[in-house]
A and B are shown apart, each in its own frame.
Chain A
Amino acid sequence: MPGLSEREARRLRSIARRIRCHVVRTISEAGAGHPGGSLSEADILAALYFHVMKLDPLRPDWEDRDRFILSKGHGAAGLYGALSERGFFSSELLKTFGRIDSSLQVHPDMHLVPGIEISTGALGQGISVALGIALAARLDGRLFHVFCLIGDGESQEGQVWEAAAAAAHYRVDNLTVILDHNGVQLMGPLRETMSMRPMADKWRSFNWEVTEIDGHDMCEIVTALETARDRQGRPSIVIAHTVKGKGVSYMEGQSAWHGKPPNAEELTRALADLQCATVGGTDG
């Protein structure tokens, strides 16, 4: 049954905070990566990897696992934080992010990291791959669910809408798309760069089941994801209204922090905002 106890919600919120701590540390140490979108997606990743998805970090190739596709590949630092918290690999590896010979590319590579289903980073492509997995799973009578996280800037890509039409045409119900709707892209707010309003109506008109939630409210996230997962007969999208750079005061809502790593002094402020432990290890 969908729903979340207050205790479980507290646990998930705490994990989301630790993911955010990884994000700012990882990106700052590497001097590369995308903090804004990695912070806005953190609560969604915590809910997926620690409550909603069926998975086993010791068996990343387990064939009945639920699949997660980060179509907005720029959020890799958030995903790596979630995977390391969940035990797919040691958090020590995060220190190699973006360095030569590292398995942690700035956009995720499926052949280098356990738990990455497909390499992404060229926007608009992951949602099609997620649809292909869902269609093939249905053909084979497999029961797992496919979750795909897309960005709102990414939604300017025509391929997203090709996939939207195809998923509805095939009445794919083993696919849930989550939109990290933080409203900000590299060059500024979406409404100025290329407005996608009305976003929810677009998806409704493509014959998707649309749920709009506060993408930082853990109860709303879990309820929406579980309801979408269990819905039959048509594809679902959860439009998560989020804040770009969520949790770091000076990054929130700022397009400047789309792809800019914080320097040492900025990192200290970010860690303080997020109440992260100051030296490595456990964050609360």
Chain B
Amino acid sequence: MVEAVRDAFGHTLVQIAHTNPNVVVLDADLASSTRVTHFASEFPERFFQMGVAEQNMVGVAAGMALMGKIPFVSTFAVFASRRVCDQVAISVAHCHLNVKLVGAYSGIVSGNNGATHQAVEDVGIMRSIPGIVVVDPADDIEMEQALHAIVAYHGPVYLRLTRDVWPRVSPQGYQFALGKALLVRQGNDVTLIGSGMMTSQCVEAADLLAESGIEARVLNMATLKPIDIDAVVEAAEETGAIVTVENHNIYGGLGSAVAEALGEHAPAPMMRVGIRDCYGECGANAALLRKYRMSPRHIAEAARSVVQRKR
């Protein structure tokens, strides 16, 4: 059965902590939402409830990292990025400490909590802080794989979680590697590059495109920083057109990262699907994706228009 990314995170963290005694978890009164409750009941002495005080939580995690711990700081993505931006930059990133920041309920599909709880700029914030690795897993399989890689990596990581269940895109037996994109579907007319739950929307869009004779390649870009430049360049050279699809503002996130890679290495026509520089609102996930022009139908429209611009 397919799990939500946050559930896969919660279970896998417990598994890893059984063999890695250095893993500790800090929570800002959201453990039941971020699913670190499993860790809290299994390892109460390694679980630190820090209350609704995220700035202190990040600093405490930095201190624990100095002592050789691998602290997971878990809260909602809006707080893990905007609220503690300076603490992350100075106490964690500037010191290059082994702190793992977990931003749950990311993007516009954040459990019908509305604009205050929709992180549309977290990736942009984290990508612009020197030395932070940014990971946005697409599904439960990738989440589990990615968490092992994140713990094995020594350095600050921002891990983006989504709340709900979305269709799985990772194959069974998939081996995740930090900084490597996953080819989800082969195609040579256009490449849809997705991250997080939006990769599943790309697959649906590719089905729609196939009906009108356009064979879309789908790449899942789970690591947003460092981005897999080789995969982006290969896609541009082989398909000649790119659409980026992200659960984030079109500024600063996946679309920007891909545009940077294309601009420097392989200029090609591209379109960005994502939140178009505005704040969101309440509503069911499907309704939000439709209204903010991020549904499979909108992705397919973007792909058709970019294909027309191919040389």
Residue ranges of A at the interface with B (Cβ–Cβ < 8 Å): 109-111, 117-122, 124-137, 139-140, 158-159, 162-163, 165-166, 169-170
Q: With A118-B95, A165-B51, A166-B50 in contact, is A130–B63 under 8 Å at CB?
A: yes
A128-B55, A136-B69 known; A122-B86 Cβ under 8 A: yes
List the count of A-B residue pairs having beta carbons below 8 Å apart. Answer: 104
- Contact across chains for A111 and B96 when beta carbons are under 8 A apart: yes
Provide the residues of chain B in CB contact with A132, threshold 8 Å.
Answer: 59-67, 71
14 contacts between A and B (CB under 8 A): A120-B90, A122-B91, A124-B55, A125-B59, A125-B86, A128-B56, A128-B57, A128-B63, A128-B91, A131-B56, A132-B71, A135-B48, A136-B69, A139-B45
Known contacts A111-B95, A119-B94, A125-B87; is-contact A136 B59 (Cβ 8 Å): no
CB contacts (< 8 Å) of A127 on chain B: these are 59
**Contact pick for A163, options B56, B86, B89, CB 8 Å:** B56
Which residue of the partner chain, among B67, B87, B89, B90, contacts A140 with CB atoms under 8 Å?
B67
Q: Which single residue of chain A is at the shortest CB-CB distance from B86? A: A122
> With A and B bound together, what is the CA distance between A34 and B66 in angstroms?
27
A166, B52: Cα distance in complex, Å: 11
CB of B64 within 8 A of CB of A135, answer yes
Given contacts A125-B91, A131-B63, A136-B67, 17 further A-B contacts (CB under 8 A): A119-B95, A122-B86, A122-B87, A125-B86, A128-B63, A129-B62, A129-B66, A129-B91, A135-B63, A136-B24, A136-B64, A136-B68, A139-B46, A140-B67, A162-B51, A166-B51, A169-B51
Main secondary structure of the interface of B (DSSP, over half): helix
Tell me the count of chain B residues lying within 8 A, CB to CB, of chain A: 31
- The answer on a CB contact under 8 Å between B95 and A166 is no
Whether B53 and A166, one on each chain, are in contact in the complex, defined by CB atoms closer than 8 angstroms, is: yes
* Residues on B facing A (Cβ under 8 Å): 24, 45-46, 48, 50-51, 53, 55-69, 71, 86-87, 89-91, 94-96
Q: Are B60 and A131 in contact (CB under 8 A)?
A: yes
Instruction: With a 10 A CB-CB cut-off, give which of B53, B57, B61, B67 has the most chain A CB atoms.
Output: B67
- In the complex, which of the residues A118, A139, A140, A169 contacts B66, with contact meaning CB atoms closer than 8 Å? A118
A121 to B89, CA, bound (A): 12
Residues of A within 8 A of B68 (CB): 136
A158 surroundings in chain B (CB, below 8 A) = 55
Q: Kindly state the separation between the CA atoms of A284 and B100 in the bound complex, as whole angstroms.
A: 49
Shortest C-beta distance, A17 to chain B (Å), equals: 32
